[in-house]
Structure 1
Amino acid sequence: MKQEPSIRPGAAETAEATAVVGLPTQRVAGCPFDPPSDLAPLREASPLSRMTYPDGHVGWLATGYSTVREIMADPRFSSRYELIHLPFPFPGAPEGPLPPAPVGDMTGMDAPEHTRLRRLLMGKFTVRRMRQLAERVEQITTEHLDAVERQGPGTDLVAAFAQPIPALMICELLGVPYADRELFQNYAHTLMTMDVSLEERYAAMSGLQEYMAALVAAKRAESSDDLLGDLTRDSDLTDEELVGVGGFLLAAGLDTTANMIAHGTFALLSNPAQAEALRSDPDLAARAVEELMRYLTIAHTTVKSALEDVELNGQVIKAGESVTISFEAANRDPERFPEPDVLDLHREATGHLGFGHGAHQCLGQQLARVEMTVALPALLTRFPTLRLDVPAEEVPLRTNMNVYGVHRLPVAWDED
């Protein structure tokens, strides 16, 4: 892999020459799996470009793989919401700084608060512990494949298969009643939507917090053998922290894996040779999951703020300047992944940034891996003739969401 030099003559001039106004978000029609088309030319010109934000702030856009990894691993860049500028319009956004992250929202925290919570939770999401859940994931997957078969061709795979599997697993892991899933799925959907009003966002956040507060109170009153029960009994977290952490884990566990299962299926059905490779060789599943995570990069963007002047790629990111991180551009960087725009399930895609990188790398990535490794090959094996039930261009895409994917995925197959 070709490495970016720490100092590159003319890099500052290159960044200025490739300055962009606003984050590129326009995807090419008919290419639902590719990043916005303007990202690749920017990355080719410079892995770190000047960018003007919607509020007028002049910061940066990072698109190169090595540059993104370096920024994500550098504690001189903060994740705190009140320090960053948003790279896309935010309806009803307050003038001036954003409010700090709610208690328990680890995405918007820095050390030492983030470190304390992450260390507390890491033991609950180890590789070994998540693999022990594989049998339960297989059981849930089989049950929902049976349900899909009963519904017959024309079924929306998102509602019937992709959403219920991770929802059941995160509910069981946390100790949340699955019967309440529609309520908190609606809250999570609102929080993940980029163009909802500030009032709607606050209402969803308040609703989720009220729900979790009642659940924490119930677990204080009667202990339970689940993650929230363990934290209530064995940690020094306050009720407010338990409510925040529980809501954060629930919302994250519901949305991201569901979209990877659905969007991953869409990608495989659009690449029949790759689908057949996975169908004929279930042992390919683990490698396939890593390649789909790289290729799709549904958690596409995040933002950091420099806490001090940082020299990177021959340029100085000044204290207070925001840097928008494009994971989807970095995961398509040909400097790191040869022929990056090709979906190749045999590719060695380890090191991809689909789960992020550094201190904020996805906490639940091992659970997500287990769920996808079981669900995707099982789906293709159960329905060897699985196909889209609508033209690909009619599949509704989540273009206005923090997590990309599909809203619905109608599928069909040949019945015996």
Structure 2
Amino acid sequence: MNRRAFIFILFMILTTAYPDNALAQNWTLGDAVISEGGMYALTENGTIVKMTLTGIPELTIKIPDEIHVLNIVPAGDGVLLVGDEVLAKFSTDGDLIWAKNMSVDDATVLPNGNVAFTRGKVVGVLDSNGNVLWIGRLTLGRINESLSSGSVQLTTITYIEKIIIVAGTASFSEDPRSHIFLAAISLNGTLNWAEVLNTGYYDRPEESSPLGGYAVVAGVYGGGSDAPWIANYFVLKISSGSEIEWFNSYQCPREEDWDDFWSIKILGVSCNEKMCALGTMRETFVIDENGTPLAYLNTTGKVAEIVDGSLRVLSNGALLKINPEQNAEAGKCYMGWVPFSEMPVQVEIRPAEFSAPDVPLNVLVVQRTERSGEEHSGFKSHSEKWWNNGEYVGIALLIAVILAVTLMLAKRES
């Protein structure tokens, strides 16, 4: 057989070993969300790409280079852009609805189109046109004789049952540990309740999501700077009336490190009525509505959404479609109960000065509906577990095999 023909046939055989539905990735992505009418992804160069749920690009929104885009938020009838000193709303057609000169840590879009957000100690709501409805600052008063007034740092916000749930950390000068701060605020800015949970460790709430009329708050707890090798994930489920249904810890298979408390992080939580998926810097795991572990996946990244039982996971710049039942690993996360106590707190929400002026934002919208879906697909299907973690190794092995066979045949012919 001709040497070149043999190499060509060998190349074709080896490349078919990769899954057919591991589709081409045209962008390196920094964030992705599911919103009504499609899927939105944020590229590393600040471009928002709108796709169908099957990954076919429909349009791109090029954000000016001087705008540092942090992440995007689903907005029902479009998408919300969160950037340094910019908060902007886009329609499903890519039109700019409004843009404000303001910085936020987290934001969520309410059913009526209003936008609730947090920034440090501040929580507020904008109307559907971006106008300020109310802004409040959370203050933590003196608890008892041993603990003076503390400070609150909000990290995440979600919406359930016509109220806003915020979570973050509460700190006191006499206590080096950070504690879990939770509060419920009405849509008009009234504080319904607030509480601080003490686990005896350093607590770091990071992400939240609604779950069937409840809120799920997830993060990391452990030894902090005192003992950074002690670290686990925590997830708690709380009602709109402040009742904690369960508060669990999760220890997942991973190579332990000296500074685990600082190196592990929950990147995203997504829930439907029956389960929650949590993406981290080390792995992804799925729990049911009672907190029981269902599946462990050796895939790092942010869980963008659960769609028809499959996960959309943003991992290493690519958007993966993963069926947790088909792709579950042999390992699993072990669940434990987190003992905690409620610290008596005096919390107030006071009016705060917060300006949100309009900001000019010139964007370029490019329609892409004329392109073929397969050629320009925006995500990879993860039906083969080894593809995500070993694709680069596989390519290297493929090249090595081809070179080895080429050299072997060259020696034979010589």
TM over 0.5, shorter chain: no
Q: Which one has the bigger strand percentage?
A: 2
Which bracket does the TM-score occupy, shorter chain normalised? under 0.3
- Tell me the TM-score normalised to structure 2 length: 0.25
RCO higher in structure (CA 8 A, sep ≥6):
1
